[in-house]
Amino acid sequence: MNINTGDTQDKQVVYYPSGSAAFAFVGLATTKCDAVMLYFPFDRHSCELNFISMEPIHRVLMVVHDLPHKVPSYENKEWKILSIKKKHSIYHVARNHSMISFSIQFERRPAFYILNILSPLPCLGLTNVLVFALPISSGERVSFSVTILLTLVFFLNMIADRLPPTSEPISLFNVMVMVQLQNSVFIVICTILSMMTYEKAQKNADVPRMLCKIVVFLQNTNKTRGMSSEQEDVSAIPAKTDELKTAQKTSDSSSQITWNEVSDCTERSFSKLFSCMFIVEWIIFLTMMIVGTD
């Protein structure tokens, strides 16, 4: 026979024939856990909830049991619960108190963030590299590169509003956006430099000797990479003769370098440089994300 005491609306004590008593109390509690946003939006979290009895263990002992009935599951649209572990232990202070611990592991549902935040970033980075494909005579390079830069700044502010203000650790995705922003700044600077060389070409100004040597070196490097088996047949020529001819060609060609050649050389160099940076950065980022989430 069960005997109920107390207010039946919010709490009650149930006594069983074996001598045990059960105190039922219903309430709503709010708690917070430290977020580890390193692999956002593929982040996983573990939150531990501890419930400690105010009464000593010889008066109140809390034990975790499975419920005799099935609890209705609650589906969250943003988070997915992976596992829930529970245990009871003793909390040692002035007296021994009973403690119940719940360890909850959950992960974010990343579909929304992949479509709206992650996927636009490589598109912006690729578009930013293609700025050097625009004709320099159109005069739209600087405005186009500045537009991409402002878009990345807005993108960074949007991510800062989404992520919690934590610094340990910083999200890899946040770092990637900052890297793309720095690349965009360098592209704007290089675009301005290419426009300056184009203006020099229109005025038929003299090319500095040091800049001529750099352009000749880059041109010779490109020609050397493009050569195939024809260089192997000329290997019998003495080395001193090759050095003299190379030096003579370099001195003759450096004196004939124009600003148009400087502009073409710098554009090709900038395009290759930022294309390689774009590919390497995304390979490193995706590798770290895949390894970390596994």
pLDDT at residue 250, as a whole number: 44
Q: Average of pLDDT values for 206-227?
A: 63
Residues 188, 84 share a domain: no
Q: Average of pLDDT values for 14-18?
A: 83
CATH number at residue 208: 1.20.58.390
58-89: pLDDT as tens digits: 777 777 777 655 656 667 888 888 888 888 77
Average pLDDT, the chain: 76
- Domain residues for the domain of 96 are 31-109
Residues 132, 262 share a domain: yes
Residues 266, 120 share a domain: yes
CATH number at residue 54: 2.70.170.10
pLDDT above 80 for 189: yes
Does 198 map to a domain? yes
Per-residue pLDDT band for 240 (boundaries 50, 70, 90) equals: very low
Q: Average of pLDDT values for 46-52?
A: 86
The percent of residues above 70 in pLDDT, for the chain, comes to 70
pLDDT above 50 for 229: no
Residues 208, 151 share a domain: yes
Does 3 map to a domain? no
Q: Average of pLDDT values for 203-222?
A: 66
pLDDT at residue 264, as a whole number: 76
Residues 177, 63 share a domain: no
Residues 182, 118 share a domain: yes
pLDDT at residue 206, as a whole number: 66
Higher pLDDT, 223 or 200: 200
pLDDT at residue 292, as a whole number: 81
Boundary (domain end) residue, out of 109, 138, 154:
109
pLDDT above 70 for 286: yes
Does 211 map to a domain? yes
The percent of residues above 90 in pLDDT, for the chain, comes to 11
Residues 117, 104 share a domain: no
Q: Average of pLDDT values for 151-179?
A: 83
pLDDT at residue 228, as a whole number: 44
Does 249 map to a domain? no
Residues 49, 103 share a domain: yes
Per-residue pLDDT band for 118 (boundaries 50, 70, 90) equals: confident
Per-residue pLDDT band for 225 (boundaries 50, 70, 90) equals: low
Per-residue pLDDT band for 157 (boundaries 50, 70, 90) equals: confident
pLDDT above 50 for 244: no
Higher pLDDT, 61 or 105: 105
Residues 154, 193 share a domain: yes
Residues 194, 156 share a domain: yes
pLDDT at residue 214, as a whole number: 67
Does 87 map to a domain? yes
Number of domains present in the structure of the chain: 2
Boundary (domain end) residue, out of 109, 138, 162:
109
Residues 144, 91 share a domain: no
Does 286 map to a domain? yes
Q: Average of pLDDT values for 5-10?
A: 45
Higher pLDDT, 248 or 18: 18
124-137: pLDDT as tens digits: 889 888 888 888 77
Boundary (domain end) residue, out of 48, 76, 109:
109
pLDDT above 50 for 7: no
Residues 64, 145 share a domain: no
pLDDT at residue 261, as a whole number: 73
Give the phi and the psi of residue 61 in degrees, each rounded to 5: -120, 120
Does 66 map to a domain? yes
